[in-house]
Amino acid sequence: MLLFDKVSKKYDGDITALDNINFSVEQGEFFFLVGPSGAGKTTLMRLLIREEVPTSGSIFFKDIDVPNIPNKLLPTYRQRLGVVFQDIKLLSSKTLEENINFALDILGKEDKEIKETTDYLLETVGLQDRKNLFPHQLSGGEQQRGAIARALANNPELFIADEPTGNLDPDNAFQVLDILKKINKGGTTVMIISHDRGIVNEMKTRVVRMEKGKVISDNHGDYDTIKTPKKTEDDKKKDEEKKNQKFKGLSKDINDILEKAKISDMEMVLNLTDTDLGNLNFSHEQKDDLEKYVKNYLNKEKHD
């Protein structure tokens, strides 16, 4: 359903928010995206809803190439998503019922359908008796549940919640969790960005962990366990090529010496001393060839 393929995002000042992100999501999954502040979670969400575009890489939602969606088609794309932001964003001038009505009215629904859907959504989140209250009259947990109801108005295929339990006490947090589980059982794919260790561990579901703009773990059922993500076929191919790669431009006899000494990358070559070369039985001619090779490499790096 969702694919991040080699996605990177850089900002001015050479700030890397996302670095070569690779992971996929199946239809109907329920998963958490976790990690410390600054890990890149919110940036990833902004790319997914096309508030921003990646510096490189591809993002696919089913058959949609998200970064390349024409601006005129963005509203149609976003109607397939349900998003609850960390700061909730219920309209303060409208009652809870009016907030949901408004979302449905934007979708062009008829009055009868708007009423029926609003009643159903309020029942789903357990707020039928609070529908005539304004956001400031609702508790934090009620506001969050109301925001979830409004985000469900367009019957989204993918529901995204950014820290939905971040400011809630445990009882309210688990009420929100139960609603999200109910949404998922109805067939909606659910993605939750969270710091809430208790909620994550309670769900015992997929946990994708980010740090410093990278996905460092993709495990099942635990906030703290680090399980290295499975490598893609492309990654495996590159590893194999690197493993088998000789130092191009050097003679076979020099490559054979380096291979025997288990010298497999340029950093190791650059750290070789004259004593090392002597111990490896390099001839004078081989030393000269290796020195020229190193100089050419350093010159190329400098110009790059």
Residue 15: strand pairing partners: 11
Give the per-residue pLDDT at 24. Answer: 93
What pLDDT does residue 264 have? 81
Please tell me the predicted confidence (pLDDT) of residue 74.
Answer: 93
In the numeric block, the tokens 């309210």 are attached to 172
Angle, CA of 215, 267 and 276, to the nearest 5°: 145
pTM over 0.85: no
The predicted pLDDT at position 246 comes to: 66
Q: What is the pLDDT along the chain (304 residues), one digit of tens a residue?
A: 999 999 999 998 678 999 999 999 999 999 999 998 889 999 999 999 999 999 999 999 998 999 999 999 999 999 999 988 877 788 999 999 999 999 899 888 999 999 999 999 999 899 999 999 999 999 888 998 899 999 999 889 999 998 888 777 788 888 888 888 988 998 999 999 988 888 888 888 999 999 999 999 999 888 888 888 766 566 666 556 555 556 888 888 998 899 888 888 888 888 889 888 889 999 999 999 999 998 888 887 766 6
Instruction: Give the pLDDT of residue 93.
Output: 94
Looking at residue 242, what is its pLDDT? 53
- Separation CA 41–CA 296 (nearest Å): 41
Among 109, 43, 107, 122, which residue's Cα sits nearest to residue 75?
107
What are the backbone angles phi and psi of residue 133, rounded to the nearest 5°? Answer: -95, 150
Q: How far apart are CA 259 and CA 41, in angstroms?
A: 41
Cα(225)–Cα(219) distance, integer angstroms: 7
Interatomic CA distance for residues 205 and 184, integer angstroms: 12
- Domain ranges for the chain: 2-233, 246-303
Eight-state DSSP code of residue 264: -
Q: What pLDDT is recorded for position 243?
A: 55
Q: Are 191 and 158 in contact (CB under 8 A)?
A: yes
Name the CATH superfamily housing domain 2-233: P-loop containing nucleotide triphosphate hydrolases (3.40.50.300)
Give the pair of three-digit tokens for residue 261. Answer: 């000494």
